[in-house]
Amino acid sequence: MGKELRDRFAYLDQSFTGKNALWAAVVKLIGLTAMCAKGVIDLEKEVIELKREVRSRRAT
């Protein structure tokens, strides 16, 4: 997950090279926040799935 976020941020960073520095920083922060939120949601889904798996193994 961390590598995916780094790769996406690197792409976002490159897309704003040469633009207004303040605007680029704001957009990068918004993008980074969104990517981190997506990462947290994906991890929460994985935790839920693992809990289900543990429960099903205990039931058998």
What's residue 12's pLDDT? Answer: 72
What's residue 1's pLDDT? Answer: 55
* 47 has pLDDT over 90: yes
pLDDT, greater one: 20 or 42: 42
Average pLDDT value for the chain: 83
Residue type, 40: V
Average pLDDT over residues 7-18: 74
What three-state secondary structure class fits 20? coil
Average pLDDT over residues 19-48: 86
Q: How far, rounded to the nearest angstrom, does the alpha carbon of residue 43 sit from its chain's CA centroid?
A: 9
Alpha carbons 54 and 29: distance in angstroms, whole number: 37
How many domains would you assign to the chain? Answer: 1
Is residue 16 a contact partner of residue 27, using CB atoms and an 8 Å limit?
yes
What's residue 25's pLDDT? Answer: 82
Q: Half-sphere exposure of residue 16, counting CA atoms within 13 Å on the CB side?
A: 16
Domain that holds residue 17: 2-59
